[in-house]
Amino acid sequence: MYLIHLKLGLPAYRLVPPELGDLIRAAARPGEGLEHVTVHPDTPGGPVLGMFLTAERPDQAQVMAGLLCRRALATSAQLRDLTLLRWKAEPVPSYRDGAADRGQLMPAGNPSTGNLFHPF
């Protein structure tokens, strides 16, 4: 799964539609790999979408996110005055990385004997 951040432009008079995430999801077709959409409406310089997509490679996810976003902007009356400015794949830390940061990984070996190679 890959995270793609998409920067949107909108006219100065316009607020981010509260249903933006739902409209993006509605534009997705089966097989395009969209798993989740997050909307960050108050990002400096304009709103940002976070799309999580399944794909073989990050470049495939990036292309699909751009196509999906452009389709949603073109076909939804509520989104026609928004523009897709840029988008790119972002690294997604693994669960193990986050667990280590939170101190949730079990220590190696047997903590009662101090033997690192003793099986439980």
Q: Which of residues 97 and 89 earns the better pLDDT score?
A: 89
Residue 111, pLDDT score: 52
Closest Cα partner for 32 from 19, 51, 5? 51
Model pLDDT for residues 25-83, shown as the tens digit of each residue: 999 999 999 999 999 998 888 899 999 999 999 999 999 999 999 999 999 999 999 99
Q: What is the pTM of this model?
A: 0.74
The contacts of residue 79 (CB under 8 Å, 6+ apart) are 17, 20, 23, 72, 73
Is it the case that residue 106 has pLDDT exceeding 90? no
Q: Tokens standing for 39? A: 């909307």
Is residue 84 within 8 A of residue 66, CB to CB? The reply is yes
DSSP character for 113?
A: T
**Confidence at 114, pLDDT banded by 50, 70, 90:** low
* Res 118: pLDDT: 42
**Local structure of residue 16 (DSSP, 8 states):** P
pLDDT at 12: 86
Q: Please state which architecture CATH assigns to domain 2-91.
A: 2-Layer Sandwich (3.30)
Are 66 and 55 contacting, i.e. CB atoms less than 8 angstroms apart? no
- Structural domain boundaries in the chain: 2-91
Specify the higher pLDDT residue, 23 or 89: 23
Query: b/e for 68-78, b at 16 or more Cβ within 10 A?
Result: bbeebbeebee
